[in-house]
Amino acid sequence: MQMKDLGFTGWAVVTADQRNSRHSDDLVPAALAALQAAVGERFALAFERTAGDELQWLTADPGAVVDAVLALTRLPQWHIGIGLGEVEMPLPASTREARGTAYLAARTAVEQARTAPSHLRLVAAETVSARPYREDVVQRAASALVMLRALVSRRTPEGWEIMDVLDDAGSGRVAAQRMGISPSAVSQRASRSARAEAQLGAELARGLLADAMAATR
């Protein structure tokens, strides 16, 4: 592929494809709303439906990628492909019009995710700025994302609810008052939902993904 002006090269493209879409309702609007709430303005090209029951976006923020993975894990009917690489400049107005090796890598990733037990894959382009990605670094980031997804996918609706309340309240005491339960009950629910472990896992995934996005030989 003939690349044009590449400018900044540390890009991540996230492509998500609805599972069993032929036999279920259209979940793209709900996913777009959840992603917007989770990621906010941390994107270069915003989330949008790109084809059928597929959505896509572009970012240079590894933390935003991790938060998007968490949001889509809460909505379990999604294959997630993450592609690392270059994007042609200047950026267009829509991700559907964008081109580059990051988009090709994301396509490969989401196709692999369809048959992966975790329904998630991270794929890096062969090179970035004419230098190869560090495969070992990319693999560590991929493993961290898969493990984080596996951990939080076990949460019940009640578990996600307590996460939301704690995130908004800022403390177990305030969360308990809002929910009308005891602080110990809040602590027990948070523990069953692996809140502390998920926070550590997300921090690890953010760091490893940042390393992967910047790691070339």
- Report which DSSP code applies to 133: B
User: The whole model's pTM is what?
Assistant: 0.90
Q: What is the pLDDT of residues 12-56, one digit of tens each?
A: 999 999 987 776 788 899 999 999 999 999 999 999 999 889 999
Using the structure block, give the residue that is written with the tokens 């069953």. 192
Identify the pLDDT of residue 4. Answer: 44
Dihedral pair phi/psi, residue 138, rounded to 5°: -60, -40
The mean pLDDT value for 96-106 works out to: 95
Identify the pLDDT of residue 216. Answer: 67
Identify the pLDDT of residue 210. Answer: 95
Q: What is the pLDDT of residues 160-214, one digit of tens each?
A: 999 999 999 888 899 999 999 999 999 999 999 999 999 999 999 999 999 999 8
Q: Would you say how long the chain is, in residues?
A: 217
Identify the pLDDT of residue 133. Answer: 85
What residue segments make up the domains of the chain, in order of their start? 11-133, 157-193
The C-alpha R_g of the chain, in whole angstroms, comes to: 18
For 11-133, give the CATH class: alpha beta
